[in-house]
Structure 1
Amino acid sequence: MADEPHPRTPEEVFREGLARLWRDDLAGYLDLLDDEVVFEFPFAPQGRPRRLEGKSDVAAYMAHLPGTLDVDKAPSVRIHGTTDPGALIAEMSIEGRIKATAAPFSQQYVVFLDVVDGRITSYRDYWNPLAVLDMAAGS
């Protein structure tokens, strides 16, 4: 009996997703998502979505992302283990410049991620909305 391929761990999926976004490969990132994925942004400011349901909603939400930032170096990532083998908690920070304005960009995140069969099913992102508002304002 042949061994079935072992599903990728949440950490492997998370890091691969970052690598694809780093390369501005949004389509590749979306390939890591379950069709029914749920993204949540509990700290989203008024007027911004707090919940996205399904891969198509995430694709529309992230469509502007490729080409937006010049990230100076790979994001700083710290992974925290959980008792659930399909989940992870990650702390991440990114620093760079907004391409359109050359203004500095700095953001910290805490992400709760669930993965089933190598696909992200849930992504809950706690981030600083002020940095995104500054980016939108072009400062």
Structure 2
Amino acid sequence: MSAWVAAAVFSVGANAQATPVIKERGGLYYLAPGYTAADVANFYWRSLNGWSEHPAEMAKYYQKDGVYALAYAPVDDFPNVGFKRANKGRQEMTDYFTNFSKQLGNLRYSDPKTWTLLQTTQKGTYVFEYSSDGVIRATNKPYQQRFIAILRMAKDGQIQSVREYWDPYVALRDFGLIKKTQ
């Protein structure tokens, strides 16, 4: 475990406010100064939740040159599926999630009040554990995934970067790209 991650784990909902301080400016979203870890969780959740129906909304929570990285994306073994390890900038994020919205539908993330936060000592850095449920459009079968994300907030109140970890086996299996052996 990195030196900047403390051993303490607690529920994000423990200090959750009823309404996080989210400001809209020029069609983009920002957290107002003085936000809490619960506010960051809610802000990140808002960026994720429903991207399968509205993929262009996600990037509005990120800095212009923000990064959304998928550390375990199986790009080497499945180059034609559309996986990317890093999406840099709002347009690249929008393009990526627009492409994947053709494959995933009704994607909903667990309530941020139920997320686990691993406390860090690095200012502006948050580590969340959460899950999602959705539907694979081609088969109408359910898709469920668990995540751990390392999120860095910028001083302006937008997301600077996210490095998300998920189980590629679940995605590859559920999308029919690999099959279990007997």
Structure 1 and Structure 2 fold alike (TM over 0.5): yes
Match of 1:62 among 97, 107, 121: 97
Deviations 1:81-128 (A, max 9, x none): 211230100011123432442212111111000001211111101111
Identity, in percent, stands at 23
Aligned equivalent of 2:119: 81
Match of 2:136 in 1: 98
Q: Any idea what SS the aligned residue of 2:129 has?
A: strand
Matches within 5 A, 1:1-139: 6=33, 8-9=35-36, 11-23=38-50, 24-45=53-74, 46=76, 47=79, 48-66=83-101, 68-71=104-107, 74-75=110-111, 76-116=114-154, 117-137=156-176
Call closer, same or farther: CA 1:66–1:77 in 2, change over 3 Å: farther
Q: Could you tell me which runs of 5 or more consecutive residues in structure 1 were left unpaired when the two chains were aligned.
A: none
Aligned length: 135
Question: Aligned with 1:137: secondary structure?
Answer: coil
Do 2:72 and 2:166's aligned partners in 1 also have CA atoms closer than 8 Å? yes
1:11 and 1:88 in contact (8 A); partners too: no
- 8 Å Cα contact 2:115-2:128 kept in structure 1: yes
Once the two structures are superposed, what CA deviation does each residue of 1:25-52 show, in whole Å capped at 9, x if it has no partner?
A: 4333211101111222221112232122
Compare CA radii of gyration and give the structure with the larger one: 2
How high is the TM-score relative to the length of structure 1? 0.77
How many Å separate the matches in 1 of 2:98 and 2:91?
A: 10
Give the CA deviation at 1:19: 2.9
Unpaired segments of 5 or more residues in structure 2? 1-31
